[in-house]
């Protein structure tokens, strides 16, 4: 087995621990083909940066409060299969040639990018560094724009007054968003006020607002509201969403798609 560079190996260790919840040092040593001493050095480095928590015999996910925002790299591998299904469905059913799209920076929406290559004359505008990196591979076939603002290292997103003003002054056919929670009383909620303000500006400037949210977010009320349910045109989720919840959303006029 060819050994990975240390930085790449540590990225993969952090992702694997996040996926498994906890893992032994022996298992990591076998998986990555390095000594236990090397694994313990890797885990020490990852713990210092807050990406894993060292425990007896191995490592575990870092403990986070309910409203603490997960790191972007961690979010990429959470519910990965479901996210890919939602993203592909959104791209195949709600995009057409010539559209102007807002893509927020979350990992579910960012997963749509790989399914946009077949469309003609698209314009895609976002606020996420990760999303921009993915979109760069599709230029010049797709017109790509990014707002200004302050870069948040937790999520690799551009936020703040500059970002908000940017989206207030341009228009889109469709805005694709995600968030950390949805309830029937509070609507769509999220964990970070700076992110929320940008999402509100994006949705206000779009003809249609579509949320991609997996079923684990149903019934979750996060820090603050992104949008009331009256502002949601379409919700794309997976088949594990509670049926009564789905019917209540449809009764409020939301077009719910189970993927």
- Tell me the mean pLDDT per 10 residues along the chain, length 259: 77 81 91 93 86 90 57 52 94 98 94 95 95 92 95 89 97 96 94 94 98 92 93 96 94 97
Predicted confidence at residue 3, as pLDDT, reads 72
Helix or strand run (H / E) with residue 72: helix 72-75
Q: Do the two domains 6-63 and 74-258 of this chain adopt the same fold?
A: no
- Asked if 141 contacts 121 with a C-beta cutoff of 8 angstroms, the reply is no
Tokens of 30: 């076998």
d(CA 75, CA 190): 14
- Asked if 71 contacts 62 with a C-beta cutoff of 8 angstroms, the reply is no
Helix (H, G, I), strand (E, B) or coil at 204: helix
Predicted confidence at residue 61, as pLDDT, reads 81
pTM for the full model? 0.72
Please name every residue paired with 236 in a beta bridge, in sequence order, or none if there are none. Answer: 212, 257
Predicted confidence at residue 1, as pLDDT, reads 54
- Asked if 177 contacts 187 with a C-beta cutoff of 8 angstroms, the reply is no
Helix (H, G, I), strand (E, B) or coil at 252: coil
Could you tell me the residue ranges of all domains in the chain?
6-63, 74-258
Instruction: Enter the CATH code of domain 6-63.
Output: 1.10.10.10
Predicted confidence at residue 49, as pLDDT, reads 75
Name the class of domain 74-258.
alpha beta
């Amino acid at each position: 087995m060819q050994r990975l560079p240390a930085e790449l190996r540590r990225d993969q260790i952090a992702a694997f621990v996040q996926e498994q919840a906890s893992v032994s040092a022996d298992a990591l040593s076998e998986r990555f083909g390095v000594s236990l001493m090397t694994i313990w050095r890797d885990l020490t480095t990852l713990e210092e940066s807050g990406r894993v928590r060292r425990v007896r015999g191995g490592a575990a996910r870092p403990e986070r409060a309910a409203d603490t925002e997960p790191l972007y790299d961690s979010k990429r591998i959470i519910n990965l299969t479901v996210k890919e299904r939602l993203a592909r469905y959104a791209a195949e059913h709600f995009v057409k040639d010539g559209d102007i799209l807002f893509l927020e920076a979350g990992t579910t929406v960012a997963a749509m990018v790989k399914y946009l290559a077949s469309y003609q004359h698209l314009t895609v505008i976002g606020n996420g560094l990760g999303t921009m990196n993915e979109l760069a591979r599709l230029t010049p076939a797709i017109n790509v724009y990014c707002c200004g603002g302050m870069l948040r290292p937790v999520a690799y997103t551009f936020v703040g007054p500059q970002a908000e003003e940017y989206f207030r002054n341009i228009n889109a056919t469709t805005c694709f968003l995600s968030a950390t929670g949805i309830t029937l009383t509070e609507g769509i909620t999220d964990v970070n006020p700076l992110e929320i303000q940008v999402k509100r500006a994006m949705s206000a400037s779009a003809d249609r607002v579509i949320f991609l949210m997996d079923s684990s977010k149903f019934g979750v009320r996060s820090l603050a509201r992104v949008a009331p349910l009256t502002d949601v045109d379409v919700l794309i989720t997976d088949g594990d969403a509670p049926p009564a919840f789905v019917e209540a959303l449809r009764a409020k006029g939301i077009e719910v798609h189970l993927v």
